[in-house]
């Protein structure tokens, strides 16, 4: 099969300025809206299950609209799902890697065929604007394509030294039954990426999606089934982390947990997984991506307009709700005032409103709770710095917040140090480049960062000294592309898992070495 696969290429984005693409998206939005309020059942190893309690997913652009109704899992169902995944592991793990890869490629092809439909679900349930939704779905396709190829590479003979008189081998085995816990902010891409990696490596999984975006997860489960993943290879379990999440993580037959989300939840998962449970015969593996407090350094010697645009897009794309979003701009004092003035003008021109309306650059934040938390941070920021733009909710029924810029922020300020996860940018003045690097690294996180500079020596130093897992030079700090920018961060940003890179599948595999004596040597 390796010879029949072309080299990996990133999925191209639809151009919504083209009338045909725009009309296709409008038709998809109408078709998806017609499905609002549909009830989705739990899936445990192919069995669809109803429960007494329901979860209603809302449209954050218009919270009076129910996108989907979902069954809430119980602790008993969570334990049952892990047992089912563990029981099916011997069968799925013996399926040849080439067959698993073909199944994953079919899943990617199905998402591609339904691309505008998935775009529409992301618009309505996650509050993504058209371009942000398109990037999310394209990344999901990329993960399917990339990991299928990676599994074929890892399934072949691995290079080991051959000792005289021996046949020496190294090959990879799946880990076991795992838990997939994706976030709401990339509810298809990250869900698809973590699940695809686990399944193509021969593991079985229990998927517990975010309670904010369960409909997208239910639609993805449909794709897995249609692609040919056996019913026993995956389960879909909607429910709160407090009710079912701990059960899934602590279960003695859970072999690994793949998680993307907040620092506090990630640390709790890591702690629970580290505790040995009666009957557990392995050390559980945790693959975690836990957010950031990402900085862009704006050097005195830079293209100022490009720097302003890079900061703007990084800070306010998808309402700042990306773990890679720029939430700190650290600007050389010599261009600080000019940078702020240009940024203020650009930010105030951004349109905020319902995500399904293509003229809006920013949609809603994900929930009323998120809006309250962000507005509280803004109030704190008003006391810690100088409000330059935004600072309040925007008009409309949805959870809208204006793009907010707070200048003159000290390194000890709350809004300099804590992850806000919303459209709030702290701007800090640096004395010089040394000071800027010092400020950029003054964080417990280390996910993404960027530098805008035309100084080769400053760029060299940033490559060596800017302590983040993903560094970008003279471009935005968001938008990591599968294959080109393996994604994952340092420190409290997680386990530096490097999703979309050549190391990632190894996190879902374990290596076995076999040395066989040949001939008659003793």
Residue written as token pair 């050097």: 299
Question: Quick count: other Cβ atoms within 10 Å of Cβ 51?
Answer: 16
Q: How far apart are CA 368 and CA 59, in angstroms?
A: 11
Sequence-ordered list of residues with C-beta below 8 angstroms from that of 337, at least 6 positions apart, any chain: none
CA 350 from centroid of its chain's CA atoms? 25
Q: What is the CA radius of gyration of the chain?
A: 24
Q: How far apart are CA 249 and CA 284, in angstroms?
A: 9
Q: How far apart are CA 500 and CA 53, in angstroms?
A: 37
Structure tokens at 254: 């859970």
Residue written as token pair 């609002």: 36
Handedness of CA 441, 446, 452, 454 (dihedral sign): positive
Q: How far apart are CA 409 and CA 124, in angstroms?
A: 35
Selection from 328, 308, 332, 331 nearest residue 320 by Cα? 328
Beta-sheet pairing, 294-298 with 448-452: parallel
Q: Which of 144, 302, 323, 326 is catalytic?
A: 323
Q: Write the DSSP assignment of 474-522 as a string of letters.
A: SS-S--PPTTTS-B--EETTBS---BTSTTGGGGGEEEEEEEEE-TT--
Q: Which of 117, 145, 150, 289 is catalytic?
A: 289
- Whether 289 sits among the annotated catalytic residues: the reply is yes
Give the CA count within 13 Å in the CB-facing half-sphere of 518. Answer: 9
Sequence-ordered list of residues with C-beta below 8 angstroms from that of 513, at least 6 positions apart, any chain: 160, 168, 169, 170
CA distances from 317 to 269, 325, 330, 350, 451 (A): 29, 8, 19, 10, 18
Question: Quick count: other Cβ atoms within 10 Å of Cβ 36?
Answer: 16
Q: How far apart are CA 486 and CA 505, in angstroms?
A: 12
The helix/strand/coil state of 290 is coil
Q: Are 360 and 326 a contacting pair, CB within 8 Å?
A: no
CA distances from 451 to 20, 31, 318, 331, 460 (A): 38, 43, 21, 10, 11
Q: How far apart are CA 26 and CA 16, in angstroms?
A: 10
Three-class SS of 189-221: HHHHHHHHHHHHCCCEEEECCCCCCHHHHHHHH
- Whether 323 sits among the annotated catalytic residues: the reply is yes
Sequence-ordered list of residues with C-beta below 8 angstroms from that of 389, at least 6 positions apart, any chain: 343, 344, 347, 348, 402, 403, 404, 405
Q: Mind telling me the catalytic residues?
A: 289, 323
């Amino acid at each position: 099969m390796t010879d029949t696969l072309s080299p990996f290429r990133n999925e191209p984005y639809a151009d919504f300025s083209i009338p045909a693409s725009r009309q296709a998206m409008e038709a998809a939005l109408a078709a998806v809206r017609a499905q609002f309020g549909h009830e989705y059942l739990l899936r445990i190893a192919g069995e669809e299950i109803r429960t007494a309690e329901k979860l209603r997913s809302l449209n954050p652009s218009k919270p009076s609209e129910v996108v989907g109704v979902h069954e809430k899992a119980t602790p008993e169902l969570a334990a049952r799902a892990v047992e089912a995944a563990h029981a099916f592991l011997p069968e799925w793990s013996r399926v040849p890697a080439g067959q698993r890869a073909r199944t994953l490629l079919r899943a990617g092809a199905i998402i591609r065929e339904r691309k505008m439909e998935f775009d529409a679900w992301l618009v309505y349930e996650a509050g993504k604007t058209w371009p942000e939704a398109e990037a999310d779905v394209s990344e999901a396709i990329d993960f399917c394509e990339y990991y299928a190829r990676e599994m074929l590479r890892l399934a072949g003979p691995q290079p080991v030294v051959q000792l005289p008189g021996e046949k020496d081998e190294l090959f990879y085995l799946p880990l076991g039954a795992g838990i997939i816990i994706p976030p709401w902010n990339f509810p298809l891409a990250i869900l698809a990426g973590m699940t695809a990696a686990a399944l193509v490596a021969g593991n079985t999984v229990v998927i517990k999606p975010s309670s904010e975006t369960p409909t997208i997860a239910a639609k993805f489960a449909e794709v897995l089934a249609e692609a040919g993943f056996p019913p026993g290879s995956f389960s879909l379990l909607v429910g709160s982390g407090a009710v079912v999440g701990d059960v899934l993580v602590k279960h003695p037959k859970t072999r690994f947990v793949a998680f993307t989300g907040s620092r506090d939840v990630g640390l709790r998962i890591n702690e629970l997984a580290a505790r040995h449970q009666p009957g557990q015969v392995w050390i559980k593996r945790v693959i975690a991506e836990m957010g950031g407090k990402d900085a862009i350094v704006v050097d005195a010697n830079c293209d100022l307009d490009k720097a302003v645009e890079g900061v703007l897009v990084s800070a306010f794309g998808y309402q700042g709700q990306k773990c890679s979003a720029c939430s700190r701009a650290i600007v050389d004092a010599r261009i600080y005032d000019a940078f702020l003035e240009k940024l203020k003008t650009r930010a105030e021109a951004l349109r905020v409103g319902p995500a399904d309306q293509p003229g809006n650059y920013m949609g809603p934040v994900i929930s009323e709770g998120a809006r309250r938390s962000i507005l509280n941070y803004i109030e704190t920021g008003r006391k810690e710095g100088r409000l330059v733009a935004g600072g309040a909710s925007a008009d409309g029924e949805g959870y809208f917040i204006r793009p907010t810029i707070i200048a003159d922020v000290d390194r000890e300020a709350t809004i300099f140090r804590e992850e806000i996860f919303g459209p709030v940018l702290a701007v800090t003045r640096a004395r010089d480049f040394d000071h800027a690097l010092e400020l950029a690294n003054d964080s417990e996180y280390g996910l993404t960062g960027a530098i805008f500079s035309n100084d080769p020596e400053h760029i060299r130093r940033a490559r060596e000294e800017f302590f983040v897992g993903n560094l970008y030079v003279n471009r935005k700090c968001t938008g990591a592309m599968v294959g080109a920018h393996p994604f994952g961060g340092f420190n409290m940003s997680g386990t530096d898992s490097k999703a979309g890179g050549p190391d990632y599948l190894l996190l879902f595999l374990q290596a076995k070495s076999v040395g066989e004596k040949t001939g008659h040597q003793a």
